[in-house]
Amino acid sequence: MNHDNLEEYRDADTYDFINGGFEIGGNFYLNLAREYGSPILEIACGTGRITVPMAEQGYNITGVDITQEMLEAARQKATHHGVSVKWVHGDARNLELQRTYRMIFTTGNSFQAFLDRHSQERLLLTVHKHLDSNGVFAFETRNPIMSQLSTSNGKEEDAGAYVNKEGRTVFVTERCLYDHRTQLEHYVTRRRWKTKSSAEESAETRIAIRYVFPQELEALLHYNGFYLEQMYGNFDLSPFQSDSPLMVCVCRKRPI
Ligand SMILES: C[S@@+](CC[C@H](N)C(=O)[O-])C[C@H]1O[C@@H](n2cnc3c(N)ncnc32)[C@H](O)[C@@H]1O
């Protein structure tokens, strides 16, 4: 892979515009916060989609992200909503905040941004180091359903359209290829729109996401110091099944 895998996050406005608000996963993580309390650490917090609403609910929360553009958007959002959040620009694989938290979470399927076992283990070590001994670590990752992984096989396919902030219709196509050897799904997304003067504009981004299989995930957590207390199949707390869309994990710390 010859890119930094962050191209999708350089345009934070588009990210927010497409990925919406608190509704995806927000209540699930908020309910855990109600149970465990502050302080909370959100890893790969992006534009503060969940961080800011949690701060509005009175939680003491820190958001960490590697992409400056996403963090800047998060900062502006917090200011706009009049809430205080501690923002940290950093790499979750290599983080030292010199304190511990009652709850650590990562959402928006950010777990899939850690592309190989080494990165996943560095992330888990960061979590382990920063989690209170009776705290909770929660995250979700997409369930790798074999029949759904990259059915397009690298062909360019229509991925819909949306109207951007300037009122222009943006047409999106995607090329997606799943490599089972690495368990990486590679996406090339092309967005096309017309400017005011009717000139054609386009932008291309590339991203890879890593899939983990259910038993692999359980082993990864086990060998990196976590008990997997619950694995749900979605944010509605439905039990995990072979065809569930997500693996929503609630973990406790195990001594290592
Ligand atoms: C899909 S977005 C999710 C953002 C946010 N959690 C949400 O739910 O909207 C993934 C985020 O992970 C961040 N990220 C990727 N690798 C990271 C790393 N090694 N350390 C910290 N953040 C990382 C990206 O910058 C991006 O903001």
Residue 1 lies in a domain: no
Please check whether residues 46 and 153 belong to one and the same domain. no
The amino acid sitting at 93 is: R
Ligand 1 mutation target, pool 24, 65, 72, 187, most atoms within 8 A of CB: 65
pLDDT at 2: 75
Q: How many CA atoms lie within 13 A of 174 on its CB side?
A: 16
Question: Based on the domain organization, do 138 and 190 belong to the same domain?
Answer: no
For residues 56 and 180, membership in a common domain is answered with: no
Ligand 1 pocket: which of 66, 123, 125 to mutate (most atoms within 8 A of CB): 66
Whether residue 221 sits in one domain with residue 150:
no
Q: Give the binding-site residues of ligand 1, using a 6 Å CB cut-off.
A: 6, 9, 19, 44-46, 49-50, 64-67, 70, 91-93, 107-110, 113
Q: How far is the CA of 95 from the centre of ligand 1 (A)?
A: 14
100 and 172: one domain?
no
Domain finish residue from 176, 193, 210: 210
**Domain harbouring 216, CATH code:** 3.40.50.150
Going by alpha carbons, the residue nearest to atom 10 of ligand 1 is: 110
The reported pLDDT for the residue numbered 19 is 85
* 106 and 132 both lie in a single domain: yes
Q: Look at residue 59 and tell me if it is in a domain.
A: yes
pLDDT of residue 1: 76
Number of domains in the chain: 2
Could you tell me if 184 and 97 lie in one domain? no
Burial class of residue 103 in the structure, from the number of CB atoms within 10 Å of its CB (0-12 exposed, 13-18 middle, 19+ buried)? buried
> Measured in angstroms, how far is the CA atom of residue 96 from the centroid of ligand 1?
17
State which residues form the domain around 192: 146-210
Q: Is 105 in the same domain as 121?
A: yes
The span from the CA of 118 to the CA of 244, in Å, is 27
Q: What is the structure's pLDDT at 76? A: 97
Whether residue 87 lies inside any domain: the answer is yes
Residue 185 forms part of a structural domain? yes
User: How confident is the model at residue 256, as a pLDDT?
Assistant: 77
Please report, in tens digits, the pLDDT of each residue of the chain (256 residues total). Answer: 778 999 999 999 889 888 878 999 999 999 999 999 999 999 999 999 999 999 999 999 999 999 999 999 999 999 999 999 999 999 999 999 999 999 999 999 999 999 999 999 999 999 999 999 999 999 999 999 999 997 788 899 999 999 988 889 999 999 999 999 999 999 999 999 998 888 999 999 999 999 999 999 999 999 999 999 999 999 999 999 999 999 999 999 998 7
Residue of 137, 93, 95 lying closest to 117 (CA atoms)? 93
pLDDT at 56: 98
Chain centre to alpha carbon of residue 73: 16
Is residue 73 included in any domain, yes or no?
yes
In the chain, the amino acid numbered 170 is V
User: 247 in helix, strand or coil?
Assistant: strand
Q: Say yes or no: 130 and 99 in one domain.
A: yes
Ligand 1 nearest-atom number relative to CA 119: 19
118 and 166 belong to one structural domain: no
Q: Are strands 40-43 and 61-65 parallel, antiparallel or unpaired?
A: parallel
At residue 240, the pLDDT reads 98
